[in-house]
Amino acid sequence: MSKKTIAKRDPSTLPRHVAVVMDGNGRWAQRRFLPRSSGHKFGVDALKKIVRHCAEIGVKHLTVFAFSSENWARPAEEVQTLMDLFVKALQRESAEL
């Protein structure tokens, strides 16, 4: 949605709360013959765009479901990669939050 389109939009028609379920990033990478960790990194980049867009259009609440209890059963290296990405993203973006 372009900024021009957003500006014309009636604010009462925008959602107040948006939920994002981060699922499929590893599979996305595998289909492209990339390591699963690359998919998770692309997912972080995509989430950053979503967060900014929601802020620009006036979404008041954003929920992100990024790690389920089942994810602990993944290989330890993948879990560590996900935790590292989470910590780095929070450190990098905390000034803007």
Helices 76-93 and 36-57, packing angle to 10 deg: 30
Residue 26 in domain: yes
Quick check: is 9 in a domain?
Answer: no
Per-residue pLDDT tens digits for 15-44: 999 999 999 999 999 999 999 999 999 999
| Angle (nearest 5°) at CA 57 between 56 and 61 | 95
Which pLDDT value is given to residue 85? 94
23 is catalytic: yes
Say if residues 72 and 80 touch (Cβ distance below 8 Å).
no
Question: 45 catalytic, yes or no?
Answer: no
Work out the percent of the chain whose per-residue pLDDT is above 70.
90
Indicate whether 30 belongs to any domain.
yes
Domain count, the chain: 1
Q: Rounded CA gap, 19 and 88, in Å?
A: 22
Is position 50 within any domain? yes
Query: How confident is the prediction for the chain on average, in pLDDT?
Result: 90
Which residue matches tokens 């910590």? 87
In a domain, 81, yes or no: yes
DSSP class of 65: E
Catalytic residue among 10, 45, 71, 84: 71
Whether residue 72 is contained in a domain is answered as: yes
Catalytic residue among 23, 25, 45, 84: 23
Host domain of residue 81: 20-93
Nearest to 5 by CA among 60, 56, 59, 62: 56
In a domain, 7, yes or no: no
- What the block records as the tokens of 11 is 């604010």
Is residue 5 situated within a structural domain? Answer: no
Integer Cα distance of 63 and 18 in angstroms: 6
